[in-house]
């Protein structure tokens, strides 16, 4: 009888220790993510808003690419036109969107990584990194695509 009591006692201690370890690990992960998100960023909003210039797939999900609308004085013949790199730097990547039905995906934190699910068609994809990290990677990926596209376009015009 006493041995059962002791083993039940050990079982509870084990459960409590496992819960405390899980709690402190998940809390430190959450705090690290909050620190990364909380960094002050300089955000400049273009005066004439954004226009959609295309979409692309990166990391298994869809992203919408936007560039600032040109202002009325941006293409003056006396002013030098901006280089493809300067234009590509203004790229704004929004999303992620469902690659099947274009609905914006919902991010959920799991114990190991994240899942993004579509509320419309139940599309679901797993990721090891949070969405803001993947958006930064998508930005770098599409920025080089946009730059290359603009370079080719400018060569054709000359």
What is the closest distance, in whole angstroms, from the C-beta atom of residue 101 to Zn ion in the complex? 3
Nearer to Zn ion, 50 or 115 (CB): 115
Burial of 146 (C-beta count, 10 Å sphere; 0-12/13-18/19+): buried
CA dist., res. 72 & res. 47, Å (int):
11
Choose the stretch contacting Zn ion; rule: CB under 5 A; options: 37-45, 54-62, 93-101, 139-147: 93-101
Residue spans of alpha helices (H) in the chain:
2-37, 84-89, 131-157
Nearer to Zn ion, 33 or 106 (CB): 106
Q: Does 98 sit near Zn ion (CB under 5 A)?
A: yes
CA dist., res. 130 & res. 26, Å (int):
14
Total residues at interface with Zn ion (CB under 5 A): 8
Q: Does 118 sit near Zn ion (CB under 5 A)?
A: yes
What is the closest distance, in whole angstroms, from the C-beta atom of residue 103 to Zn ion in the complex? 5
């Amino acid at each position: 009888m006493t041995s059962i009591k002791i083993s039940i006692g050990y079982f509870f201690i084990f459960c409590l220790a496992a819960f405390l370890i899980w709690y402190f690990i998940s809390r430190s992960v959450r705090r690290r993510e909050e620190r990364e998100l909380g960094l002050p960023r300089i955000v400049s909003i273009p005066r004439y808003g954004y226009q959609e210039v295309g979409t692309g797939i990166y990391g298994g999900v869809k992203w919408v690419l936007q560039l600032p609308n040109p202002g009325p004085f941006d293409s003056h013949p006396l002013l030098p036109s901006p280089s493809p790199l300067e234009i590509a730097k203004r790229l704004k990547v929004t999303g992620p969107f469902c690659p099947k039905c274009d609905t914006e995906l919902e991010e959920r934190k799991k114990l190991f990584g994240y899942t993004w699910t579509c509320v419309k068609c139940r599309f679901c994809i797993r990721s090891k990194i949070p969405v803001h990290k993947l958006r930064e990677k998508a930005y770098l990926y599409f920025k080089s695509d946009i730059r290359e596209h603009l370079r080719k376009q400018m060569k054709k015009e000359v």
